């Protein structure tokens, strides 16, 4: 069959290809661009509240800049270790996550009724962020070891989910329902991508949705969040206040935005403007075009992450593949939820926007995920180069 690509199309395909690079440039692009955009937006969104709380308008900007640099160091450090090291230490990492989630319930710093942070000197550690990384590592290792049982039996399918539910139970005690949803959805997505039975997946999804609905209506404050989400303008000065202010930010921004630094909603109208709702400030200042650019960067990151995982799977590196799938699902899923909450498509969840929102723990773990994605990509390319050298050697030996 003749190729449908014309010579010009083939030239563009070769130009866009990163096969000859040391690392995937299309994966590096969002990993570099998103934290830079995040630092700029955190700076813009936090000056007023920083000045009010600390007297220094650049307080949160400086801290976030330090967090960004630290996350780069974390990524570079993670890249130095082979993937096999992470595979062999999956159970230890899971135990670390369990211990941290238990400790935070005892000595955790309480904010807005939730114990999610362990104070450690000038910084706070958020165990739920650590749990995301550790859960993916452990589940990926389990899936590689028990792939046949996972595909054929209920127990093989439910065993990794039971571990995720144990983490979720500790998270609910904080409470942190948003991270619980992200962890459970990621684990189920990883199982489906590993070839688990589709009907088991669908049946479990129905059960999970039913339990989620029950939990949503079992507590008055959660029910209030849902009713406020459905009609925020009915309670715009009480339970619907945050969402209405976020929607006003989107409306003010229009297509091109008010300009960097010109947000009105960040002037104490929109709560959590530099953390959970930084995307609303971005939409106000950079408009729909800026918002779509950020969405496109996240989509590119998730796509390239899946592609790296697919190449690893084709090379027989199942653990590396499942890790890439898991990290891509976490970043993509959390970004989708956060942006949907900001836009009024989902109820408020209290989740940060990965790589953009203010927060040291979130950036450190995002850096670790990025580092391991790049490590897998580097090992994939190393195998490809080694294979080409063997082929060239065979050809030269045959010719001689």
SS (H, E, C) 23-70: CCHHHHHHHHHHHHHHHHHHHHHHHHHHHHHHCCCCHHHHHHHHHHHH
Say whether pLDDT at 174 is over 80.
yes
Q: Are residues 172 and 48 in the same domain?
A: no
Q: How far, in Å, CA of 293 to CA of 212, rounded?
A: 32
Could you give the 3-state DSSP secondary structure of residue 3?
coil
The answer to the question of residue 166 being in a domain is yes
* Confidence class for position 3, pLDDT limits 50, 70, 90: very low
Angstrom CA distances, 356 to 38, 129, 132, 237, 326, stand at: 4, 15, 17, 28, 20
Q: Are residues 361 and 223 in the same domain?
A: yes
Say whether pLDDT at 6 is over 70.
no
The answer to the question of residue 16 being in a domain is no
pLDDT of residue 121: 79
pLDDT of residue 236: 77
Q: Are residues 224 and 351 in the same domain?
A: yes
Q: Could you tell me which of 361, 336, 84 has the C-alpha nearest to residue 186?
A: 336
Half-sphere exposure of 365 (CA within 13 A, CB side): 25
Classify strands 109-111 and 114-120 as parallel, antiparallel or unpaired.
Answer: antiparallel
The answer to the question of residue 20 being in a domain is no
pLDDT digits (tens, 9 = 90+) for 333-386: 999 999 999 998 888 877 899 999 999 999 999 999 999 999 999 999 988 887
The answer to the question of residue 37 being in a domain is yes
Residue with the two structure tokens 């949160």: 60
Q: Are residues 214 and 231 in the same domain?
A: no
Q: Are residues 111 and 201 in the same domain?
A: yes
For the stretch 67-100, what's the b/e string if a residue is b when 16 or more beta carbons lie within 10 angstroms of its beta carbon? bbeebbebbeebbeeebeebbebbeebbebbbeb
Q: How far, in Å, CA of 373 to CA of 306, rounded?
A: 10
175: preceding bond cis by omega (within 30 degrees): yes
Say whether pLDDT at 278 is over 50.
yes
Q: Are residues 113 and 189 in the same domain?
A: yes
The residue segments making up the domain with residue 172 are 90-218
Say whether pLDDT at 252 is over 90.
yes
Which among 194, 218, 242 is the end of a domain?
218
Average pLDDT over residues 62-72: 97
Higher pLDDT among residues 314 and 19, named by residue = 314
Q: How far, in Å, CA of 67 to CA of 62, rounded?
A: 9
- What are the residue ranges of helices labelled H in the chain? 7-16, 25-54, 59-79, 83-88, 90-107, 127-145, 147-152, 154-173, 177-193, 198-218, 220-230, 241-253, 278-314, 318-342, 360-399
* Confidence class for position 97, pLDDT limits 50, 70, 90: very high
pLDDT of residue 23: 84
The answer to the question of residue 277 being in a domain is yes
Q: Are residues 97 and 206 in the same domain?
A: yes
Which among 203, 218, 233 is the end of a domain?
218
The answer to the question of residue 148 being in a domain is yes
* Confidence class for position 1, pLDDT limits 50, 70, 90: very low
Q: Are residues 99 and 60 in the same domain?
A: no
Residue 111 pairs in a beta bridge with 114
Q: Are residues 61 and 106 in the same domain?
A: no
The answer to the question of residue 3 being in a domain is no
Supply the mean pLDDT for the chain.
89
Which among 335, 350, 365 is the end of a domain?
365
Structure tokens at 249: 């930010």
Say whether pLDDT at 2 is over 50.
no
Average pLDDT over residues 240-259: 92
Higher pLDDT among residues 391 and 90, named by residue = 90
Q: Are residues 178 and 282 in the same domain?
A: no
Q: Are residues 202 and 261 in the same domain?
A: no
The answer to the question of residue 370 being in a domain is no
Structure tokens at 111: 């904010």
Count structural domains, the chain.
2
pTM, two decimals, is 0.91
The answer to whether 349 and 178 are in contact (CB under 8 A) is yes
Average pLDDT over residues 288-314: 97
Could you give the 3-state DSSP secondary structure of residue 110?
strand
pLDDT of residue 48: 92
pLDDT digits (tens, 9 = 90+) for 107-130: 988 777 788 889 887 888 999 999
Q: Are residues 198 and 307 in the same domain?
A: no
pLDDT-above-70 percentage for the chain? 91
């Amino acid at each position: 069959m003749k190729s449908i690509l014309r010579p010009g199309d083939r030239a563009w395909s070769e130009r866009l290809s990163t096969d000859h690079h040391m690392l995937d440039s299309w994966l590096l692009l969002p990993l570099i661009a998103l934290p830079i955009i995040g630092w700029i937006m955190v700076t813009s969104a936090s000056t007023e509240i920083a000045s009010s709380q600390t007297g220094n308008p650049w307080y949160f900007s400086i801290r976030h800049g330090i967090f960004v640099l630290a996350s780069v160091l974390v990524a570079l450090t993670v890249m130095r270790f082979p993937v096999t090291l992470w595979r062999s230490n999956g159970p230890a990492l899971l135990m670390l996550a369990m211990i941290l989630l238990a400790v935070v319930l005892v000595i955790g710093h309480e904010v807005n009724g939730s114990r999610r942070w362990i104070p450690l000197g000038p910084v706070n550690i958020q165990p739920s962020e650590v749990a995301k990384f550790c859960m993916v590592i452990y589940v990926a290792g389990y899936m590689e070891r028990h792939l046949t049982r996972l595909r054929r039996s209920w127990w093989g399918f439910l065993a990794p989910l039971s571990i995720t539910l144990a983490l979720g139970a500790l998270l609910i005690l904080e409470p942190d329902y948003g991270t619980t949803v992200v962890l459970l959805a990621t684990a189920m997505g990883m199982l489906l991508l590993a070839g688990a039975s589709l009907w088991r997946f669908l049946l479990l999804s129905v059960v999970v949705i039913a339990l989620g609905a029950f939990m949503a209506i079992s507590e008055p404050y959660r029910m209030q969040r849902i009713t406020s989400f459905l009609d925020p303008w009915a309670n715009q000065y009480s339970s619907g206040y945050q969402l209405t202010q976020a929607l006003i930010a989107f409306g003010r921004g229009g297509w091109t935005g008010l300009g960097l630094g010109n947000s009105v909603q960040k002037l104490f109208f929109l709560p959590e403007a530099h953390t959970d709702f930084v995307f609303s400030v971005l939409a106000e200042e950079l408009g729909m075009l800026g918002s779509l650019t950020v969405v496109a960067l996240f989509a590119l990151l998730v796509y390239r992450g899946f592609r790296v995982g697919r190449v690893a799977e084709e090379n027989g590196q199942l653990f590396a593949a499942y890790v890439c799938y898991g990290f891509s699902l976490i970043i993509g899923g959390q970004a989708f939820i956060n942006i949907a909450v900001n836009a009024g498509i989902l109820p408020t969840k209290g989740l940060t926007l990965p790589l953009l929102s203010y927060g040291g723990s979130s950036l450190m773990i995002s850096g670790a995920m990025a580092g391991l994605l790049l490590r897998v990509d580097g090992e994939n390319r190393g195998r490809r180069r080694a294979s080409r050298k063997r082929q060239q050697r065979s050809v030269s030996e045959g010719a001689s």
